[in-house]
Structure 1
Amino acid sequence: MYQGDPGSSNISEPFLLVADRYGEIILQVNITSGSTTTLPLGDVGQPAALDYDPLTDYVYWADDLNDKIHRARRDGSGRETILDITSDNSVFCLALDHAGGDIYWTDEDEHTISVAKMNGSSTRTLLTSSAVRSPYDLVLDPRNGLMYWADNGNDKIYRAAMDGSNPATIITGLSKPRAVTIDYREDRLYYSDGSHMYSSDLLGNDIQQLLYEDGKTVRGIAVDENYVYWSSSWSASPWQGKVGMLSKSNLTKTVLVEGLTYPFGIRLSTAAPPGVTTVNGNRFKITLLPSSLSGRV
């Protein structure tokens, strides 16, 4: 648990959060030892996407089975349903804007990207578009007022302003894009296409292949200063899902967890999110971004 004043938090051990969709659990993975803990969140349904707020210790997840978005602290306290989704089995992406206090999510059936406050209030639709045909992952860049998503239906990576304006295609020619994230230190985009993982600049140029997972689909990506983390699964057989990490310096692969059913989204606790600056190692505090920043809600 965290210690400190209400405006800051301390994380004693770095960890990944992993949504195992068909295993119907959310795991905490120690990135040093690979040890795992199933978070005591109660019935999580089928968690298809998740995010984490280091300031409050809240885990947010989209329950694809019951069409709801929930949140709870890692110890299970404070659990509540913050959003009921009217569509069936359609929310595979969610992302937190920590500085703005907002949660973003996509709806495959409605072809929308929406936003609300982190408690589920003030809901509104930002974008309704054919570019949101079958979104599988969403990442925010509040520094630049932008959001990016991987759309498996259109086989493309898109970006738009965080208010939903100016949607544009930045990467084409894909066959199964499932994951996307940003390395905010290096201004690089990381994304998956089937069994492969790539990186590019934030305009979709300078594409580099980083990983090939033979026979599996890369479904989640997270990144820190030294490593890229991924989740993958093999749809032909259960219990073949795994979580691994890849050295940025030499592309050495290390498997952290095996035997998962169907791992989807992953999130890293110690990667300081946009709008939250790192102070004294693992200590976090809010740094509000300018309200006039182009593209912000």
Structure 2
Amino acid sequence: MITHLNYKLIVLEARKRQIISINPNDYSTNILLQDQSGTPDGIVFNPNDQLFYWTNMGADFDAWDGYIQHCNLDGKDTGFTVKIGDTHTPKQIQLDQRTNYLYWCDREGMKIERCAIETGKVEFLLDTQDMYLDEEKENRHCVGIALDIQNNRIFWTMKGPPKSGTGRLLCAPFDFNDKQAVINSSQIKIVYDHLPEPIDLELDYKNDYLYWSDRGAEPDGNSLNRLQLSTLSNKEVVVRGFDETIGFTVDADHHLAFVADKMGHVYQANLQTKEKKVIFTSENGAFTGLIKVG
């Protein structure tokens, strides 16, 4: 039996441009921030300064009009961390809280990027536009990112065209303590390819898993997936039957996952029984990033 969960879920509502807080115990909700512009996508919380940071893909996915904003826990004191146009279409975002660096994938920009929170100056860690030149350009689009700081690696997804089955999960060595570090393209490893359409990533060190969402075609798409982190093997589809899966977060202690999809649903899934249920719906909504805070 699940005891009281001592955290909140924070989800981005991309179509309505809102940040929403969900209580996972009674599924009550509260709008933290609304009436935003562009298309918010990925979100992270920084315990060092008690601020949320989220990416925005901008209004035109073909233009350099992306940016990163921040606000406090009440949705107030908003500001820009990365200025409009300093990134293209930023997607999932992660934080190295030891160094106060933000890391994210830039989809149409075809890059993996980072910045120090204090400066907001964007650094390019990898340019993917010269990879897989004999394939569709969407195969060069980076989307999800995970920082394996314990093992000095970065993981990311390249989703491929919609429902194409050409998505990839990749990783490469990375020195997070080196302010001059970049991703060496010769050291990139394809962990899995021919995935339906992999999106966001999350690490579970406690149970030795790397999780990812997939919004591609069934039977293996629209799913939550995982593999064994230490061996990068034993891939499995954990839960199926979502509707354009995007953001998610894992509660390893209680064997739960919370999953958001682009059709306006937030689910709670039991990672042992594989059962799932909808805990929040936004009519005509579209959820992207989802994290837990607390």
2-structure distance, mates of 1:72, 1:98:
17
Is 1:155 paired with 2:176?
A: no
Alignment of 1:203-214 (within 5 A): 203-213=231-241
For 1:142, which of 132, 143, 149 is the aligned residue? Answer: 149
Q: 1:92 to 1:27 in 2, by over 3 A?
A: same
How far 1:49 sits from its partner (Å)?
Answer: 1.1
**Structure 1 segments unaligned to the other structure (5+ residues):** 1-11, 235-240, 271-297
Deviates more, 1:17-26 or 1:109-118: 109-118
Residue deviations 1:74-129 (CA, integer Å, cap 9, x gap): 22333210112537862112111111210012222332111111234453211112
2-structure distance, mates of 1:222, 1:44:
25
Residue deviations 1:175-210 (CA, integer Å, cap 9, x gap): 211222111211201112221221111243111221
* Matched AA of 1:269: V
Structure 1 match to 2:136: none
Greater length-normalized contact order (CA 8 Å, ≥ 6 residues apart): 1
2-structure distance, mates of 1:57, 1:139:
21
How far 1:30 sits from its partner (Å)?
Answer: 1.0
Count of residues paired in the alignment: 252
* Structure 1: 4+ residue segments shifted above 4 A: none
How far 1:13 sits from its partner (Å)?
Answer: 4.2
1-structure distance, mates of 2:52, 2:38:
14
2-structure distance, mates of 1:87, 1:141:
26
How far 1:71 sits from its partner (Å)?
Answer: 0.7
2-structure distance, mates of 1:148, 1:244:
25
Structure 2 match to 1:174: 195
1-structure distance, mates of 2:226, 2:25:
24
Verify the 8 A CA contact 1:93 1:135 in the aligned structure 2.
no
Verify the 8 A CA contact 1:13 1:30 in the aligned structure 2.
no
* Matched AA of 2:115: A
Structure 2 match to 1:282: none
Residue deviations 1:254-284 (CA, integer Å, cap 9, x gap): 32211251101111114xxxxxxxxxxxxxx
For 2:206, which of 173, 185, 204 is the aligned residue? Answer: 185
Q: 1:119 to 1:77 in 2, by over 3 A?
A: farther
1-structure distance, mates of 2:202, 2:90:
17
For 1:52, which of 32, 45, 53 is the aligned residue? Answer: 45
1-structure distance, mates of 2:223, 2:102:
29
What secondary structure sits across from 1:178 in the alignment?
Answer: strand
2-structure distance, mates of 1:44, 1:113:
23
Q: 1:128 to 1:213 in 2, by over 3 A?
A: same
**Structure 2 segments unaligned to the other structure (5+ residues):** 59-64, 133-138, 161-165, 175-180, 217-221
Residue deviations 1:120-140 (CA, integer Å, cap 9, x gap): 445321111237821222121
Alignment of 1:271-290 (within 5 A): none
* Matched AA of 2:154: M
For 1:197, which of 205, 224, 231 is the aligned residue? Answer: 224
Structure 1 length-normalised TM: 0.77
2-structure distance, mates of 1:87, 1:116:
11
Verify the 8 A CA contact 1:47 1:64 in the aligned structure 2.
yes
RMSD: 2.3
